[in-house]
């Protein structure tokens, strides 16, 4: 299993992501944003979290025009699996690879803490190791994590089982930290090969650090 991880100026989670997947037995490679291609043996492409280009203009907006994104879009359109975490989720929405947009948190403050999530749809390779309604404890760290989508597109997400995760409390009751529409924490595309979420499963790999619930999330990609 080969996991390729994108690195932009301002990315700060690429090594956490590398550690997480290598802990699960994958080989990894970090690719700089100026690359014109991604490795041919890539089985999963991860757009890691951080603050690409300092979040100038709009989170993920400048990164979506980086040279490597042409190869990312080509890879995704051919059915390649892509995972965007936090800022990576923002990049994928800005590039048009995932529906919706991420805007400033309702409280206008940066949020950094563990937060519970409920699995809404495991009908995909990402969450297939989990059961619907499972509750996970995963760190969040974002200023622009407020997921927005219009009502008609929201209905499409629901019909196509594209809503992956929602923010909840430990009992699975909705608890929205940032104002996201329907408390959405993660979505996928209709074809279910492109995934995005604001929480950081790569930071939930060790019980000593608060949770290892990220293991089951990321294991779905390992065949």
Tokens (6 digits) for 97: 């690879």
Six-digit token pair at 180? Answer: 């996201």
Q: Which one is catalytic: 33, 94, 115, 202?
A: 202
Q: Is 86 a catalytic residue?
A: yes
Question: What is the pTM (predicted TM-score) of this model?
Answer: 0.95
Radius of gyration of the chain, Cα coordinates, nearest whole angstrom: 16
Contact partners, residue 25, CB within 8 Å, separation at least 6: 1, 222
What pLDDT score does 60 carry? 83
The pLDDT tens digits of the residues spanning 26-51 come to 999 999 999 999 999 999 999 999 98
Could you give the domains of the chain? 2-219 (3.40.50.880)
Residue 219 has pLDDT above 80, yes or no: yes
Closest among 140, 141, 190, 139 to 163, alpha carbons compared = 190
* Position 63 pLDDT exceeds 90: no
Contacts for 194 with CB less than 8 Å, ≥ 6 apart: 76, 81, 82, 84, 92, 97, 98, 188
Burial (CB count within 10 angstroms: exposed 0-12, middle 13-18, buried 19+), residue 207: exposed
- Report whether pLDDT(223) > 80: no
Segment 191-206 mean pLDDT: 98
pLDDT at 1 over 90: yes
- The stretches of the chain forming alpha helices (DSSP H) are 14-23, 68-77, 87-94, 151-159, 214-219
Identify each DSSP E strand in 33-134 by its residue range. Answer: 44-47, 81-85, 101-103, 111-119
CA 16 – CA 116 distance, rounded (Å): 20
| Residue among 33, 86, 94, 188 flagged as catalytic | 86
């Amino acid at each position: 299993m080969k996991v390729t991880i994108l690195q932009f100026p301002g990315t700060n989670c690429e090594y956490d992501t590398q550690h997480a997947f290598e802990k699960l037995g994958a080989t990894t490679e970090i690719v700089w944003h100026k690359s014109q291609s991604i490795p041919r043996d890539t089985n999963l492409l991860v757009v890691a979290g951080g603050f690409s280009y300092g979040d100038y203009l709009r989170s993920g907006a400048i990164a979506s025009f980086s040279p490597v994104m042409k190869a990312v879009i080509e890879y995704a359109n051919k059915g390649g699996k892509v995972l965007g975490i936090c800022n990576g989720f923002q990049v994928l929405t800005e590039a048009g690879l995932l529906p919706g947009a991420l805007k400033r948190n309702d409280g206008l403050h940066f949020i950094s803490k563990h937060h519970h999530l409920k699995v809404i749809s495991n009908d995909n390779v990402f969450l297939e190791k989990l059961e619907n309604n499972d509750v996970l404890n995963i760190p969040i760290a974002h200023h622009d994590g407020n997921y927005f989508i219009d009502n008609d597109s929201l209905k499409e997400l629901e019909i196509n089982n594209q809503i992956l995760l929602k923010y909840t409390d430990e009992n699975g009751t909705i608890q929205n930290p940032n104002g996201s529409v329907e408390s959405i924490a993660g979505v996928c595309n209709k074809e279910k090969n492109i995934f995005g979420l604001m929480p950081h499963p790569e930071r939930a790999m060790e019980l000593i650090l608060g949770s290892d619930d990220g293991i089951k999330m990321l294991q779905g990609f390992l065949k």
